[in-house]
């Protein structure tokens, strides 16, 4: 599993700031996220059980052992990037459930709706995204 995938793991405790989106907006994003999830699933041609395995993957619980098992069962079917996207989608769905979707993971300010519409599983606002990208260079 890539480092990015581990970072994508989300727990309820991280949800400290509540979403400011309206119910209508939330329903729109939820529907979009579920569609994208379905699309990835059919592109990969994996079963629901295999997808659950990716989504429920918890690096905190089982450490490297789980990662090896997951790579062995799915390694040739799914790329790290696809797995990461799937996890990001699922993470966004969890955030919707806990009412903190659309909040920047770094500065905890709301992410602009226009940005979310372009990048539905965006985790950071534009300013924070720029800071992160500069640091990675
Ligand atoms: Zn931010």
pLDDT at 6: 45
- Would you say residue 53 has pLDDT above 60? yes
Average pLDDT over residues 84-106: 91
> What burial letters (b/e) apply to 102-112, b meaning 16+ CB within 10 Å?
bbbbeeeebbe
Decide if pLDDT at 109 tops 60.
yes
Separation of CA 129 and ligand 1 centre (Å): 7
CA–centroid distance, 121 to ligand 1, in Å, is 14
Question: What per-residue confidence (pLDDT) applies to 74?
Answer: 63
Q: How far is the CA of 67 from the centre of ligand 1 (A)?
A: 30
Q: Which of 41, 65, 60 is nearest to 51 (CA)?
A: 41
Average of pLDDT values for 13-35?
91
Would you place residue 65 in the very low, low, confident or very high pLDDT band (cuts 50, 70, 90)? low
Task: Judge contact between 74 and 53, C-beta under 8 A.
Answer: yes
Single pTM value for the model: 0.76
d(CA 34, CA 26): 12
Over residues 72-92, the pLDDT tens digits come to 656 566 777 777 788 889 989
Beta bridge partners of 110: 103
Q: What percent of the chain clears pLDDT 70, i.e. is strictly above it?
A: 74
Q: What distance in angstroms lies between residue 12's CA and the mean position of ligand 1's atoms?
A: 19
Query: Which tops the pLDDT comparison, 76 or 110?
Result: 110
Calculate how far, in angstroms, residue 131's C-alpha sits from the geometric centre of ligand 1. 9
Cα–ligand 1 centroid distance for 112 (angstroms): 10
pLDDT given at position 93: 93
Please tell me the distance between residue 100's alpha carbon and the centre of ligand 1 in angstroms. Answer: 14
Please state the domain extents for the chain.
21-101, 102-137
More confident site: 66 or 100 = 100
Query: Does the pLDDT value for residue 124 go beyond 70?
Result: yes
């Amino acid at each position: 599993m890539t480092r990015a995938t581990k970072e994508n793991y989300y727990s309820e405790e991280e949800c400290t700031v509540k979403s400011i989106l309206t119910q209508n907006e939330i329903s729109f994003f939820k529907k979009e996220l579920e569609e994208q999830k379905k699309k990835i699933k059919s592109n990969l041609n994996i079963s629901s059980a295999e997808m659950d395995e990716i989504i429920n993957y918890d690096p905190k619980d089982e450490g490297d052992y789980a990662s090896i098992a997951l790579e062995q069962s799915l390694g040739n079917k799914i790329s790290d990037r696809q797995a990461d996207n799937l996890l990001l989608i699922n993470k966004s769905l969890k955030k919707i459930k806990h009412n903190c979707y659309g909040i920047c993971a770094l500065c905890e300010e709301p992410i602009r709706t226009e940005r979310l519409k372009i990048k539905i599983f965006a985790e950071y606002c534009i300013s924070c995204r720029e800071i992160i990208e500069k640091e990675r260079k």
